[in-house]
Structure 1
Amino acid sequence: MSTRREQWFALVESNTTGSGREFCRAARARGLRPVVLAADPARYPYLAEDGIDVLVLDTADPDAVADRCHDLAAQGLAGVSSSSEYFVPVAARVAAKLGLPCPDADAIARCRNKDRQREVLAGAGVGQPEFRIATSVAEAVRAAGELGLPAVVKPTAGSGSVGVRLCATSTEVASHAEQLLGTTVNERGLPAEARILVESFADGPEFSVESLDGEAVAVVAKHLGPAPHFVETGHDFPAPVPEADRRVLAATTRAALAALGLGWGAAHTELRLTAAGPAVIEVNPRLAGGMIPAMIRAATGLDLVDAVVAAATGQDRPAPAGGPGSGCVRFVLPAGQGVLRGVHGLDAARSRPGIAIAEPSAVPGAPVRPSGSFRDRVAYVVAANRTLLDAVAAAESAVADLTVTLG
């Protein structure tokens, strides 16, 4: 690594696809030099492809992260952040220790601990599903009986719908609870607490509200795969609902953020619009995944990734560059399983009018098997147009161009 003085932008771990790469792009565009702190850089092929500096260390150790960032600060460090929900807390604490711009680390912790998040929102009277905390299979079954079936059973810390399941019977509750409570480490190799959430099922269409500094900037409609899982298969912006619905979703989000103390930086809040009104599914103290920022940028010119980088480095937020107004994301989920050999037809998909991005999200050789999470997706298309109908038509035509081969 070069020893010449310059302004570094430290990213603690990354998303495996999507916004991690975009964070580095935005940092470079601002004249910063991105460096990713990672335990296993091989998880992120874009690092080598884009020539991103890497520091290899145990990122699960906050002291190790703080020491390396302190070394970077001696050379010139503009900011510390993370595009991975699992590492947002350590990035915030390290940035605070170095006197760099960052969200409140305690607020981040309240959000990352989903049972604590539920308790805070309940105390503030924010609409959400009824819930119980369980530390044993028997407690989970009893909780589901009290709340009513079907019930959602999920980890108290997680991301990308990993481990989230809709259970129709007490037998399913017991089986899934046993699996979750027996998991000692999560998919990132971090310790998993033997506590789970059992929640009443909030029936209704699902949305996300993207916010900056406590204010809603976009209301997005979600497409989900079949139960019992909650795999996101697409997103639509602006959400095709009456303006009154968008306003109430945004207002509920603002109330949730205020209750949790999240008044700085980006947040991704998921809600369902039930017959009783909006129910917060969860508040995530970070930028959205699922290529939502890319969709919003293509549709409106608002670069949410750049806004987060700007906030973390004390720079001015970018002004929207303008756009056609509507956008969507569609994901490709193979029907079969095996080993990914390739995603074909990308050039044809990219050549269609209105297509902003068409990319694979898994590399050849990756195992493909149903997991009930974001890992089921192998490719995606982002489209933008003047109307949502036109954007959706372009995206679905582009997806039809793609074929996935498995071995």
Structure 2
Amino acid sequence: MLHEKRLILSPYRVLLIGPRRAILKILRARKIPFSVWREDATYPIMDAQKVVTEPLFNTTKKLQQFVNEAFAGESFTHVIAGSESAVYAAAVARRIVGARASATTTALRCRDKLAMKQYLSDYDIPMTRFLAESAVDSAATAFAYLGSPLVRKQRKSSGGRSFELITREQDLILRQNGRNILEKFVSAPEASIESFIHDGEIKFVNTTRYLEKGHVNLVPAAFDETLQAAMLKLNRQVIEALKISWGTTHLEVYLTDNGLLFGEIALRPPGGYIMNAMQHAYAFNPWEAFVAIELGEPFEFPQFATAYSCVEILHPGIGRISAIHGEQQVKEHASVREFRLKVKVGDMIHKREAAGQDIGYLLHVSETPAARLDLYHHFKNQFVIDIT
């Protein structure tokens, strides 16, 4: 008997802006045809239908012009943003290429810290004081309103890039280019809330504790019930105010003695290997969930965590590596789920400009929050990178 091999075509065609390897892996596994728009050619993508390497422009006009030129006559069912800088570009591109649309105003507010905070101020969201730098007439005015120290950030940046802590008036040289926001400095622990939203409903939520901001993330956070409930309430308020009907969000919050303060929200997956940590804590693949949400598909999320993850992001500081202690013990430890070290003895480590820059990471799991902290301290003492 002759058996005919039937080719099953995917109903999707995706434009991925700001590619991440984990997203590419899911698209490939699902045999979804895709094209890529990336800012730099850091690694080859040989199986894409089309690869465009160009900047992700900041203005709507430039974005519209580029998409019309680069993808002329092409249509996509979906446009997926894989990075912070790709969120607004994706919202603009969706309307041009006929893909599932999202609100460009929402995308802009989730990208522009000033627009975000100005908008959310009308919804009684608790947050630290802020000013548009371009609207400030003198350093004295800024310090009088915000106090000392104050923080200067670029309105459209992420991962701690462009963060400046300024303590004296004479050190604040005002820039009138409209690119920055000034904020009152908040000295308090921080945490984040990750949400997967489908058809206007939050289908899954995780809280992350920043044990050491930029270096150690605990997933799930395991806060007490009162704090957990307050965080989830704030998260819902922000998502509803911004009218986010679908997508994956990453909201950062300050845990002050006087209550929660909203930091910012991003409409994209979190960094800091939090997605990896969620996978091991909840026993599901959050990248599969992310792609499903982007495609408008339902996804069966876990109801609770089965383990407590800790991810340690490695960056010992500036200098040359003189010794690495305990690497083999880390590799052999039964609780370690992921471990990557990108450097060796003799390598030079440069200044860390953003949270996404590291020399590796260590992810381990425990059965209880207390055991997780014990294991963290164990590795902190046993796994050491010497710098000279």
By the TM > 0.5 criterion, same fold? yes
Greater relative CO, 1 or 2 (CA 8 Å, sep 6+): 1
Tell me the TM-score range normalised by the shorter chain.
0.7 to 0.9
Greater CA drift, 360-369 or 328-337: 360-369
Deviation at 1:322, TM superposition (A): 7.5
Considering only CA atoms, is the larger Rg found in Structure 1 or Structure 2?
A: 2
Q: Deviations over 1:315-354 (max 9, x none)?
A: 332433976331111111123335x899897665343212
In 1: Cα distance, 2:94 partner to 2:228 partner: 34
Q: Deviations over 1:365-391 (max 9, x none)?
A: 997322452155211112222212333
In 1: Cα distance, 2:78 partner to 2:290 partner: 11
What residue number does 2:262 align with?
Answer: 280
Is residue 2:8 matched to residue 1:9? no
The structure 2 residue matched to 1:337, chosen from 302, 313, 319, is 319
Residue 12 of structure 1 aligns with an amino acid whose one-letter code is I
In 2: Cα distance, 1:251 partner to 1:354 partner: 33
What residue number does 1:100 align with?
Answer: 99
Helix, strand or coil for the counterpart of 2:108? helix
CA spacing shift, 1:344–1:308, aligned 2, 3 Å: farther
What residue number does 1:304 align with?
Answer: 286
Helix, strand or coil for the counterpart of 1:96? helix
Is residue 2:196 matched to residue 1:218? no
Greater CA drift, 22-31 or 392-401: 392-401
Q: Which has the higher helix share?
A: 1
Query: What stretches of structure 1 of length at least 5 have no aligned partner?
Result: 15-19, 183-192, 225-230
Given that 2:132 and 2:182 are in contact with CA atoms closer than 8 Å, whether structure 1 keeps it comes out as yes
In 2: Cα distance, 1:343 partner to 1:305 partner: 32
Query: What stretches of structure 2 of length at least 5 have no aligned partner?
Result: 1-7, 57-61
Deviation at 1:8, TM superposition (A): 4.2
Q: TM-score, normalised by structure 2?
A: 0.82
Summarize the alignment of residues 203-352 of structure 1 with structure 2, pairs less than 5 Å apart.
203-213=187-197, 215=202, 217-224=205-212, 232-320=214-302, 324-337=306-319, 348-352=329-333
What residue number does 1:64 align with?
Answer: 66
In 2: Cα distance, 1:366 partner to 1:142 partner: 46
Among the aligned pairs, what percent are the same residue?
20
Residue 315 of structure 2 aligns with an amino acid whose one-letter code is L
Given that 2:91 and 2:101 are in contact with CA atoms closer than 8 Å, whether structure 1 keeps it comes out as yes
Given that 2:317 and 2:352 are in contact with CA atoms closer than 8 Å, whether structure 1 keeps it comes out as no
In 2: Cα distance, 1:347 partner to 1:71 partner: 54
What residue number does 2:4 align with?
Answer: none
Q: TM-score, normalised by structure 1?
A: 0.79
CA spacing shift, 1:247–1:41, aligned 2, 3 Å: same
CA spacing shift, 1:367–1:280, aligned 2, 3 Å: farther
What residue number does 2:31 align with?
Answer: 31
In 1: Cα distance, 2:297 partner to 2:331 partner: 33
Given that 1:100 and 1:312 are in contact with CA atoms closer than 8 Å, whether structure 2 keeps it comes out as no
Summarize the alignment of residues 356-395 of structure 1 with structure 2, pairs less than 5 Å apart.
356-360=337-341, 368-374=349-355, 376-395=357-376
What residue number does 1:133 align with?
Answer: 132
In 1: Cα distance, 2:339 partner to 2:110 partner: 32
Given that 2:136 and 2:142 are in contact with CA atoms closer than 8 Å, whether structure 1 keeps it comes out as no
Q: CA RMSD in A?
A: 3.4
Given that 2:79 and 2:93 are in contact with CA atoms closer than 8 Å, whether structure 1 keeps it comes out as yes
Greater CA drift, 198-207 or 269-278: 198-207
